[in-house]
Chains A and B, each alone.
Chain A
Amino acid sequence: DVKVTQSSRYLVKRTGEKVFLECVQDMDHENMFWYRQDPGLGLRLIYFSYDVKMKEKGDIPEGYSVSREKKERFSLILESASTNQTSMYLCASSFLAGLSRGNEQFFGPGTRLTVL
């Protein structure tokens, strides 16, 4: 079974703190993603990575950065946390889709971040 794990289930931080969220997948997936999920807004893509050290901005990258130093690990960084970054953060991974492989994404359990 595909397994995507996230470093914390719940996190409480103060405004201005630097926050690290980590994600690890064990399926040798090329692609990894970070989303945030908010009531009424659905899932929104923050960043994704298709290879080690490669990253691309998603729909809402402002206030976030990412790091992918190893294939299995993808980190989301909030340089200076703000209250409007209180949200559920979801990591996902997928294969680089081809003829014999689909592009479905597999999600981690999520990190509920509260910024006070």
Chain B
Amino acid sequence: QKEVEQDPGPLSVPEGAIVSLNCTYSNSAFQYFMWYRQYSRKGPELLMYTYSSGNKEDGRFTAQVDKSSKYISLFIRDSQPSDSATYLCAMSNSGGSNYKLTFGKGTLLTVNP
């Protein structure tokens, strides 16, 4: 079983839709959870950073962590064509090895005008 699983998509939605992106993981030691957005031919850009379980909201973006189910989500409200990108989840342990991030392979999202 891979440590982090992420549906590669592609996911295509109309402008204004609510988008749900998800990752599951197997390592119960993961404590830090991140979402990155990567536009074509660019480097990943950090969108959301959360520690342990719960929700975090930033504008149109909401990150959720459910550690009991080993499941994290990113919701995008009122999606825009500019949200079209690949979304990567990432996570790490706490403690001495927390420098290392384990990434999902990314979900390609297209928001159609």
Binding site for B on A (CB under 8 A): 4, 31, 40-43, 45, 48, 50, 90, 94, 96-97, 102-110, 112
For B49, what are the chain A residues with a Cβ–Cβ distance below 8 Å? Answer: 102, 104
For A48, what are the chain B residues with a Cβ–Cβ distance below 8 Å? Answer: 99-100
In contact, B99 and A40 (Cβ under 8 angstroms)? no
How far does the alpha carbon of A97 sit from the alpha carbon of B99 in the complex, in Å?
7
For B101, what are the chain A residues with a Cβ–Cβ distance below 8 Å? Answer: 103, 105
Closest to A104 in B: B49
For B104, what are the chain A residues with a Cβ–Cβ distance below 8 Å? Answer: 42
Q: List 16 A-B contacts (CB under 8 A).
A: A4-B43, A31-B99, A40-B105, A42-B88, A42-B103, A42-B104, A43-B103, A48-B99, A96-B99, A103-B98, A103-B99, A105-B46, A105-B101, A106-B46, A107-B43, A109-B42
Binding site for A on B (CB under 8 A): 32, 34, 36, 41-46, 49, 51, 88, 90, 92, 98-101, 103-106
For A109, what are the chain B residues with a Cβ–Cβ distance below 8 Å? Answer: 42-43
* Sample of 13 more A-B contacts, CB < 8 Å, known A4-B43, A97-B99, A103-B98: A40-B105, A43-B88, A50-B99, A90-B43, A97-B32, A102-B32, A102-B49, A103-B92, A104-B32, A104-B34, A104-B49, A105-B46, A105-B90
**Shortest distance between the CB of A14 and any CB in chain B (Å):** 23
For A96, what are the chain B residues with a Cβ–Cβ distance below 8 Å? Answer: 99
In contact, B42 and A42 (Cβ under 8 angstroms)? no
**Shortest distance between the CB of B22 and any CB in chain A (Å):** 16
How far does the alpha carbon of A42 sit from the alpha carbon of B46 in the complex, in Å?
16
For A106, what are the chain B residues with a Cβ–Cβ distance below 8 Å? Answer: 46
In contact, B44 and A107 (Cβ under 8 angstroms)? yes
In contact, B98 and A97 (Cβ under 8 angstroms)? yes
Closest to A42 in B: B105
In contact, B105 and A90 (Cβ under 8 angstroms)? no
For B41, what are the chain A residues with a Cβ–Cβ distance below 8 Å? Answer: 110, 112
How far does the alpha carbon of A106 sit from the alpha carbon of B90 in the complex, in Å?
12
How far does the alpha carbon of A90 sit from the alpha carbon of B43 in the complex, in Å?
7
**Shortest distance between the CB of B9 and any CB in chain A (Å):** 13
In contact, B99 and A110 (Cβ under 8 angstroms)? no
In contact, B99 and A45 (Cβ under 8 angstroms)? no
